[in-house]
Each structure stands twice: as structure tokens, then as C-alpha cells.
Amino acid sequence: MGFGTFRRRHKILFGLFLVVFIATGIVIFFKDLFRIEHIEVVGEDIAIDIDTSKFERNLLFFPTDKLEDELLAKYPLLKAVHITKKLPQTLKISLTKRIPFAVIESEGQTMTISRDGVVLGDSDTEGSFVPIRISAGPLAIGQPLKDVRVGAALTFLEIIAPTLLIALIAENPDRSMQAYGQETNILFPQDDSIATRAATLQRLITGFRIKGKLPTTIDLRFDKPVIKN
């Protein structure tokens, strides 16, 4: 091997070494530059615990979607989690709590629940929310109530509350639900057809108000509403 060949190989090896050295320096520089040093949690009266040891510490590659999903699974009282990256070293976590929508009364317990049926906690302000009296078993904070009767009652409330003041919703022995109003009681089925039926009821109530008198009972369990004055 001649001296010229040796020098060429030496230059190539040196060039490769220089490239690797520079690349390593750049990686280390960016790793330190964008290393997460601050976690900013935004959300009133919400405390969460984050195990950052399980995640990438570099802000650029941090798996925000994965952490959002994990927090929602770990804290069922959270309605939404939104994570943003604030360069160069801050992770911002915005939390939104579920809010009380009604009160559930079951097995001697009274607790507030959200619009999507998650049990939120003991109710000491039940007068502010419409009680739903259903035998849905023992209640626990953070428990999602999948009972179709609970879903029907919540959907009914969401649609009707702006139109008619409801004092109580309860189940009947004949597998129907009954909403008790100040002037009108409404019977409706315990299934997911309630959205369409409640919309029909809303139009009926508006029509009766125009006439100046509400009926005593409206029965929505049949194809056509049955009205009793």
C-alpha cells in the first residue's frame, strides 16, 4: 500500500470520525436544549400525579397523546386533558373537570353525576340539581353509570330542562320512567328512543304554552303521545 493510499484512507477515517463527533455533539446539544425541566398544570382544584420516568424526557419527542389517554383513564373525574409543548423546556397540561349535571339516588346513596353519567361525589347541594331516583346499585366516585335508564333520564333532562321545570325523575314498576313537573308529569320509556320522544315533547309543551294551559300528564311510551288534561 503506497503512502498516497494511506493518506487517502486516513483522511476518510478522519472525516467519518469528524462527522460522528459533530453528529453526537448536535444530539447531545438538542437533547439538553429541549429536555423537559418544567411541567405546568392548568386546572382549578385538580391535583394529578405524573410519573415522568416512564416517558421520553425530550420535549420534541414527548408522546402527548399517550399521556392524555393515561390521565383520562387514571382520573375519571376529568372530562378532557390537553397537552401542549412550550419550547424549549416546558410541558403544559390543561385539565377540564366533569361538572355536576344531576343527582343520582340509589341504594340509599345520593351523589352528583355528570351529563355522561360519571359519578362525581357526595351531594350536599342536591337542591340545585334534578334528582334521578333509580335502583342502579352501589355508587362510587368516578364510576361510569352505563345503565340505559340513567342515560335515558340524562338525555331527557338535557332536552326538556330549558322548556319545563322538572322536580324529580324516577323509575316505575312497569319498566317506564316518570318525570314530575310542577304542572305536568311525563311518562317515557327506559331506552335510547328518548332523544326523539323528548324532542316531540318539547314541541308539545311549546304548543300548550301558547294555548295557555299545560296538561296534567303526557305519556310518551307509545308511537303517538297520550295526553291527559
Three cell numbers, residue 20: 460522528
Cα→Cα distances 132→35, 54, 139, 194, 199, Å: 50, 42, 13, 15, 20
Q: Assess whether 68 and 122 both reside in one domain.
A: no
pLDDT at 18: 58
- Report the domain count for the chain: 2
Same domain, 37 and 106: no
Beta bridge partners of 81: 95
Domain that holds residue 108: 102-228
User: What CATH number should be reported for the domain holding residue 83?
Assistant: 3.10.20
- In DSSP notation, 68-121 reads HHHHHHH-TTEEEEEEEEETTTEEEEEEEE----EEEEETTEEEEE-TT-BEEE
pLDDT band at 9 (very low <50, low <70, confident <90, very high): low
- What is the model's pTM? 0.76
pLDDT(224) > 70: yes
Instruction: Judge if 84 and 137 occupy the same domain.
Output: no
- 14 vs 78: which has the higher pLDDT: 78
Residues 51, 116, single domain; the answer is no
Whether residue 12 is predicted with pLDDT greater than 60 in this model: the reply is: yes
CATH number of the domain at 219, please: 3.40.50
106: which DSSP letter?
Answer: E
Beta pairing, strands 119-122 & 109-113: antiparallel
| Domain co-membership, 156 together with 58 | no
Asked if residue 10 is part of any domain, the answer here is no
- Verify that 76 and 177 share a domain, yes or no: no
